[in-house]
Homo-oligomer: A and B are copies of this chain.
Amino acid sequence: MRGLTEIRIGGFGGQGVILAAAVIGKAAALFQGGYATMTQSFGPEARGGSSSAQVILSTEPILYPYVTQPDVLVVMSQEAYTRFAPQLKPGGILITEQELVRVGQIVEGTRAYGVPATRLAEELGRKVVLNIVMVGFFAAVTGLLEPEALRKAVADSVPAAMQKLNLQAFDRGLEYGSKLIEKNGECEHGVALEAV
């Protein structure tokens, strides 16, 4: 973890956006000695069925928990992409559910990664864990947090009966992301995420 990192996660209701955000925040604070906040906004857009959360990871206590320009944007719906992509910080990381989001023209220097999280979750038997597949993929492509800290945060955030399935989902996303990174020869994890 380095300096201050702002993350925005968006999708539609039922995809588990909030849980994914809480897992990332918890991993940073409980298992890596950092600080994190997670903010959820309820407003007119929520009435339309969309869901989003903001996570800030920091090595210091956080005074202002609002994300204005995310370093990392994770989107699981076209609507969330359209709404939040223009806010992504130059040099930021865009992570999409690739079968749900069609990526348009993106700013030069953005690193964009897609994962078929819903399909991978369905292969594990429960579509509902797509959010945790996304978290595993996030671990691999951002390199921001230790996969082991995120794994512990996943186990800590779901009911006992759902732990095994969620850990499988995490591992599946992590593996998919690691292979993608390997194939593309991308090794500068976190470089774009220096303290601001």
Contact = CB atoms under 8 A, between A and B. Distances in A.
Interface of A: 18, 22, 25-26, 28-30, 35-43, 46-47, 61-66
Given A35-B42, A39-B40, 8 more contacts: A26-B46, A29-B46, A30-B46, A30-B47, A37-B39, A38-B39, A64-B66, A65-B65
B39 A35 contact: no
B47 A42 contact: no
A191 B36 CA distance: 35
A193 B84 CA distance: 34
A181 B65 CA distance: 36
A162 to B, nearest CB: 11
- How many identical subunits does the complex contain? 2
A36 B44 CA distance: 10
Contacts of A18: 22
Nearest to A29: B42
A28 B42 CA distance: 8
A143 B107 CA distance: 48
A45 to B, nearest CB: 10
Nearest to A18: B22
Contacts of A43: 29, 35-36, 61
B42 A39 contact: no
Contact of A62 (B28, B29, B36, B41): B41
A53 B18 CA distance: 14
A36 B46 CA distance: 10
Given A64-B66, A65-B65, A66-B65, A26 B42 contact: yes
Contacts of A41: 35-37, 62, 65
Nearest to A40: B38
A9 to B, nearest CB: 14
